[in-house]
Structure 1
Amino acid sequence: MSGDKVAEKTELRSRLSYALTDGCGNLLYCIIGSFLLYFYTDVFGLSVAVTGTLLLATRLLDAIDAPLWGFIVDHTKTKYGQSRPYFLWLCVPFAVCMWLTFTTPDLSGTAKIAYAAVTYIAAGVIYTGIQTAITSILPNLSHNSEERVVLNTFRMVGGNVGAFICMTFTLPLVAYFGGGNDQLGFSMTLAFFGVIAAVLLFVAFRNLREVNVEKIKRIPIKDSIRAIKGNWPWMILVLANLIFWIALTIRQSTVVYYCQYVLGDKGIAAMINGFMVIQVLGMLSIPFLVRHTSKHTTMIIGFVLAILGHIGMYFAGADLSVLIPFWCISCIGQGIACSMPFAMLSDTVDYGEWKTGIRASGFLTAIGSAFCIKAGSGIGGFIPAMVMDAFGYVPNAVQSATALMGIQVVFIWLPAAIFAVGIVPMLFYSHYEAKEEEVLEALAQQ
């Protein structure tokens, strides 16, 4: 495909519509990563130990649906395309399931835990379908690697806007709608966000177009699995992305605890989360960084900035004039490290096709994106809950010095340490990144 034709398929309207997909996904689903731990313990009334176990068990169970959604997408062939129809089919179920997750019927004991588990899993299953479609459509929006980076940058900026709105305005809206009743406030807030997300996902469906729809083939399940064989860059990227989402979930889910109990004001969480919008700078820098370094180096830069930001926050203590700049540095790094795997997954789809002759974009991107997000969210929700419980955290109470230390550990040091671990697999990616031009040339000849 020529560069001119690629450009025709990715005009500004399409790029902005691709940004809407992740924006809508994050508008709703980031509420789980940022507030579900707090919602379950301090609003719904589950113990921190039960909540941690619930988050881990349900999320790991739920993560199994990622490859299933990948198979489903790989078997989809409609006049609308392969991935695009799922924005239409799942927008309303996604909004409804997210609303149910943050709605609290009058239950107690086992019934309350069962309700939390069922609604959480349902929301996660539908989100996986949305997330799989968002990622798997990218290889079919353009066959040009550089254009995919641009498209992915639009997507991640859109996702960042959705996350910014969610994390900045959720707690204020809960207070506004609830009038002191946080259970009502969360339910009304999710209903409000849900309507917006469903409408905008429909808009994205209307505007996006997949290239070469007539050439899409249904792939047998065994062939989708075979696409993994020898696909080392994909395996490396999946590992690095999983590590990133574990660290990110720990970081996001403990902000509210740190602000309420260490800084002494829960309201500060909304302000600090609002500064996360600065990660757009990291996302916008990606095309420049990739052009002058490499993709794997760019992702490592993101990890390093995230680590430095957390270390700086430790030395800042309760001084917001120092803490917030370091938080922003970490956010910029987070934006880079979060964005890169989604662009690089398209390259691993190409590598898999070159290695095996099978183009399993749905399966490979589902594991590389939705599975990593959900498994990472489960593990990242479980770890801080268990650490806080071990340090003696008690919901809605004055915390002991030991419990405060535990909150500091999970907010400052755990994310920094896990981000550092994520650098290791990326050091091995350079060998395969050097083969990208060779792979694309071989596929073009085929």
Structure 2
Amino acid sequence: MELKNEMAVKPTEQVKLFERVAYGLGDFGCNIIYTAMTTYLLFYYTDYAGVNAAAVGMIMLISRFLDGLTDIAMGVIVDRTKTKYGKARPWILRMAIPFAISGVLLFSVPTTWGTAAKLIYVFLTYNLVSSVIYTAINVPYSALNALMTQDPYERSVLSIFRSLLATAGTLLINSYTLTLVAYFGDNASAWMKTFSVFGVFAVIAFLINFFGTKERVKPVSEKSEHIPFKEGMVALFKNKYWLMVTGILLVLFINMALTTGSTVYYAKTVLGDNQLAQTINSVMNLAQIAFMFLIAPFIKRLGKKNSMVVGLIIQSVGTVLLVVLGGSLLSIYVTSIIRGIGGAFFGAVMWAMVSDTVDYGEWKSGLRMEGLTNSASSFGYKVGNGLGSALLGIVLSIGGYVGSQSVQSAAAITSIHLAFWVFPLLLNVLILVILHFYKLDKEFDQVIRDLRQREAENVG
């Protein structure tokens, strides 16, 4: 099929401000656990629970591939869910409280247990949280964007609110985790108490998300309501833009896991104060949040693809400057602001890009699969997170990093530099290569026109 980019598709659904905020709060809740897992979990395991970094890294890697099974299963479940509340929102309500409890379990490794017992506990709780509970709430939430509207600009605005509130959740964790841990005694049990507090915020956010949003988009064909699993997977892998976006998410989240996870090690070992990790992350998150209020006109003018390109370049420049300028507070503030602005660009569009591939897939195959499409993409970014965390643990282990030592070897410091900025820059280049082949921004208007024409023909 050949696409023609004629006149723009006009909006058919307007999502009001409160609903946009309610939608974004879903990722605020999700990021309480996600940020904790990418930024502090490995640090908690190595420096408080006394678990080997390489062993934990392998557990994270193995668990992420197990995620693939649960993600796909949850995607199928979402696509087959039919309630008066829709297909995605009911799962957000059902899993809100289990999600909060799971965060507490994650940071409750019994420190008196032996090494093998600790690793078993880590394996079981990490998989419970990541492969089951997080999946059961995040896959439906990820599908919600495509269910709320088909208007491409409105999807971008929703994606901005998602990224804005997700960053607010990240800011909460980055700004107050170590502070609360210190307040509760700066020991292993302090982490459990800290995430008991954060769990309350997560439940409130999910409840507002459930009650404040509405699912509007229906499939063009009734066939989409009963899609055999094999047929759905075949159609999914024929969706070239879904493959590209999933690859981008995979690499992007490897990058995020590496940089966020290594920040605390970089601050502690290279800059000489682990509390600077909070400063770096908090200033970056605040800059990202602030720029989110200004970014919509840029996305409207540049498009999603070009916005992501700009963001990756800006973030890379900020990272290099942080390393080059050293650890003065002024340089940390300036470079963290630059990195935050870069993160605002790609954070604002990446989920809208996934939603656009749902419509492209329906246009190409006749099958509309919000759940399966988002679950497979969820698998991509969760594997990316697992690979990034595993890579961080392996690199630190090869470098000889020992959490109990106040002074690290030269090899350990080199490994931290590799994880903090060298590997992430190379990964950004890889994403830019993939984006070169992404053309859906130019084709999307025609996709929607064709879908609406088919819908009119079916009604007629």
Give TM-score scaled by structure 2 length: 0.91
Structure 1: how far apart are the matches of 2:137 and 2:295?
Answer: 24
1:314 to 289, 313, 323: 323
1:220 Cα shift?
A: 2.6
How do 1:202-281 residues align onto structure 2 when only pairs under 5 Å count? Answer: 202-211=207-216, 217-275=225-283, 276-281=285-290
1:122 is matched with 128
How do 1:11-410 residues align onto structure 2 when only pairs under 5 Å count? Answer: 11-105=16-110, 106-124=112-130, 125-177=132-184, 179-181=185-187, 183-211=188-216, 217-275=225-283, 276-368=285-377, 370-397=378-405, 398-410=407-419
- SS of 1:137's equivalent in the other structure is helix
Structure 2: how far apart are the matches of 1:229 and 1:383?
Answer: 27
Structure 2: how far apart are the matches of 1:323 and 1:282?
Answer: 18
1:119 Cα shift?
A: 0.4
Q: How many residues align?
A: 439
- Quickly say closer, same or farther: Cα 1:363–1:285, change in 2 above 3 A: farther
Judge conservation of contact 1:86–1:130 (CA < 8 Å) in 2: yes
How do 1:412-423 residues align onto structure 2 when only pairs under 5 Å count? Answer: 412-423=421-432
Structure 2: how far apart are the matches of 1:353 and 1:6?
Answer: 19
Judge conservation of contact 1:48–1:395 (CA < 8 Å) in 2: no
- Quickly say closer, same or farther: Cα 1:71–1:317, change in 2 above 3 A: same
Amino acid in structure 2 at the alignment position of 1:146: Y
* Aligned-residue identity in percent: 32
Judge conservation of contact 1:244–1:337 (CA < 8 Å) in 2: no
CA deviation map 1:23-55 (0-9, x unaligned): 111122210110011011111111122122122
Structure 1: how far apart are the matches of 2:358 and 2:277?
Answer: 39
1:3 Cα shift?
A: 6.4
- Quickly say closer, same or farther: Cα 1:423–1:285, change in 2 above 3 A: farther
- SS of 1:342's equivalent in the other structure is helix
- Quickly say closer, same or farther: Cα 1:195–1:218, change in 2 above 3 A: farther
- SS of 1:254's equivalent in the other structure is helix
1:323 Cα shift?
A: 3.2
Judge conservation of contact 2:51–2:115 (CA < 8 Å) in 1: no
Structure 2: how far apart are the matches of 1:73 and 1:247?
Answer: 29
Judge conservation of contact 1:63–1:371 (CA < 8 Å) in 2: yes
CA deviation map 1:345-387 (0-9, x unaligned): 111110100100000111111222x213311111001112211
- Quickly say closer, same or farther: Cα 1:372–1:320, change in 2 above 3 A: farther
CA deviation map 1:235-255 (0-9, x unaligned): 111111111000011000011
Judge conservation of contact 1:313–1:412 (CA < 8 Å) in 2: no
Structure 1: how far apart are the matches of 2:88 and 2:355?
Answer: 14
1:212 Cα shift?
A: 5.1
Amino acid in structure 2 at the alignment position of 1:101: L
Judge conservation of contact 1:223–1:358 (CA < 8 Å) in 2: no
Judge conservation of contact 1:227–1:359 (CA < 8 Å) in 2: no
1:278 Cα shift?
A: 1.0
Judge conservation of contact 1:62–1:374 (CA < 8 Å) in 2: yes
2:5 is matched with none
- Quickly say closer, same or farther: Cα 1:95–1:107, change in 2 above 3 A: same
Mark the runs of 5 or more structure 1 residues left unpaired by the alignment: none
Judge conservation of contact 2:156–2:348 (CA < 8 Å) in 1: no
1:94 Cα shift?
A: 0.9
User: How big is the alpha-carbon RMSD for the aligned residues of Structure 1 and Structure 2?
Assistant: 1.8
Structure 2: how far apart are the matches of 1:393 and 1:270?
Answer: 21
CA deviation map 1:392-423 (0-9, x unaligned): 21112021122222212211212122122111
Structure 2: how far apart are the matches of 1:64 and 1:244?
Answer: 21
Judge conservation of contact 1:71–1:363 (CA < 8 Å) in 2: yes
Amino acid in structure 1 at the alignment position of 2:157: V
1:325 Cα shift?
A: 1.3
Structure 1: how far apart are the matches of 2:279 and 2:245?
Answer: 33
Structure 2: how far apart are the matches of 1:315 and 1:217?
Answer: 55
| 4+ residue runs over 6 A deviation | 213-216
Tell which deviates more after alignment, 17-26 or 412-421. Answer: 412-421
- SS of 2:274's equivalent in the other structure is coil
How do 1:426-441 residues align onto structure 2 when only pairs under 5 Å count? Answer: 426-430=435-439, 432-441=440-449
- SS of 1:358's equivalent in the other structure is coil
- Quickly say closer, same or farther: Cα 1:296–1:95, change in 2 above 3 A: same
- SS of 1:174's equivalent in the other structure is helix
Structure 1: how far apart are the matches of 2:429 and 2:329?
Answer: 25
Mark the runs of 5 or more structure 2 residues left unpaired by the alignment: 1-8, 455-460
Judge conservation of contact 1:227–1:353 (CA < 8 Å) in 2: no
